[in-house]
Copies of this chain bind each other. A is one copy, B any other.
Amino acid sequence: MKSVQIAHGSGGQAMQQLIHDLFMQAFNNPWLAEQEDQARLDLAQFTAQGDRLAFSTDSYVIDPLFFPGGNIGKLAVCGTANDVAVSGAIPRFLSCGFILEEGLEMATLEAVVNSMAQTAKAADIAIVTGDTKVVQRGAADKLFINTAGLGAIPADIHWGAQTLTPGDVLLVSGTLGDHGATILNLREQLGLDGELVSDCAVLTPLIQLLRGIPGVKALRDATRGGVNAVVHEFAAASGCGIELNEQQLPVNAAVRGVCELLGLEALNFANEGKLVIAVTRDAVESILAQLRSHPLGQHAAMIGEVVERRGVRLTGLYGVKRTLDLPHAEPLPRIC
């Protein structure tokens, strides 16, 4: 079976061949085809869409590489695209850096790269510049990916957490914790296979639905640290408090099962296709209706509100209000 060799990252013939036979074929686009040290992107296509450039990066180290609902390649496109998209921008271009462990099966790399290409193409995103490094056996665990993304932010969109004021309402675009629970189940062999699927998805279509609606104030995708981390970021950036209602949190039965089994909270689980949205109170119904009209937002729900009193609190199922701390760490490393 063919595998990745040190030579594939060395700048010599073996690397040239890998680039031509795999990356150029899969990511096939005119910018990459120029084979310069940098992609050259017409600025006019950005200024036609907006007045600011959204620029974001993430590295992906998830273990295992493949999971129900996706793999590290799909995740590397969705995750960075979403970090660009929550600004209101349409993500258009990605860079891609691979760190490969010597001995990785070439078939594994091919499957990951083809999944990246397919996810990017479906979202109208081009992977325009890249890099490949290979490290010796044992110096990395199989395969890491970094992507950085670009898109133009329309001039009329100024979403930001610092605009939140008491009275605003918090929505989520769907069920909490599906990605984190899926990885936890695989890694800890909880045996819930078949019921848990990562929500990994490019959220641009859902986010663009919100563009025309007044009342949207801030948007984040809830990844590592879950909805809890976003809510704490919102509270810190705005100087307000936030109160969530446990009864309103949408959670799939299988995810709820994992939580009860392990004594964990879905609020802290990673998502890879869910938004937390802060909106003015008068816009709640119209925004929920818009979200629910799209498959990616069909389980959208109101989960809490912005209040004057600082801190983040959760009202439990029996009506008791308690402080919701941001945990020191997530339940699991390498969730994304």
Cα separation A37 to B46 with both chains bound (whole Å): 19
**A27 interface residue (CB < 8 Å to B):** no
Task: List B contacts of A43 (CB < 8 A).
Answer: 43, 46-47, 50-53, 152
Are B99 and A144 within 8 A (Cβ)? yes
Q: Which residue of B lies closest to A139 (CB)?
A: B141
Report the stretch among A79-87, A167-175, A284-292 that lies at the interface.
A79-87
Point out the residue from B133, B221, B326 that lies within 8 Å of A37, measured CB to CB.
Answer: B221
Are A129 and B56 within 8 A (Cβ)? yes
Shortest beta-carbon distance, A125 to chain B, in Å? 13
Q: Which residue of B lies closest to A232 (CB)?
A: B16
Total copies of the chain:
2
A13-B329, A39-B54 known; 9 new pairs, CB 8 Å cut-off, are A11-B224, A11-B225, A11-B229, A38-B87, A40-B87, A46-B46, A58-B97, A135-B141, A146-B148
Q: A333 with B136: in contact, given A38-B87, A40-B54 (CB under 8 Å)?
A: yes
A–B pairs, 15, beta carbons within 8 Å = A6-B333, A7-B328, A12-B225, A34-B160, A36-B160, A38-B83, A38-B84, A38-B89, A40-B55, A43-B43, A56-B95, A58-B97, A59-B133, A99-B144, A136-B333
Task: Point out residues on A near B: beta carbons under 8 Å.
Answer: 5-7, 9-16, 34-44, 46-47, 50-61, 63, 83-84, 86-87, 89, 93, 95-99, 102, 128-131, 133-136, 138-141, 144, 146, 148-150, 152-153, 160-161, 220-221, 223-226, 229, 233, 237, 270, 326-330, 333-334
Point out the residue from B37, B150, B153, B330 that lies within 8 Å of A11, measured CB to CB.
Answer: B330
Are A13 and B327 within 8 A (Cβ)? yes
Decide if the interface of chain A is mainly helix, strand, loop or mixed: mixed
Cα separation A57 to B86 with both chains bound (whole Å): 23
Cα separation A38 to B12 with both chains bound (whole Å): 35
Point out the residue from B46, B83, B146, B220 that lies within 8 Å of A59, measured CB to CB.
Answer: B146
Q: Which residue of B lies closest to A96 (CB)?
A: B57
Task: List B contacts of A40 (CB < 8 A).
Answer: 52-55, 87, 153
Shortest beta-carbon distance, A27 to chain B, in Å? 13
Are A131 and B57 within 8 A (Cβ)? yes
Cα separation A6 to B135 with both chains bound (whole Å): 22
Cα separation A175 to B57 with both chains bound (whole Å): 35
Are B233 and A57 within 8 A (Cβ)? no
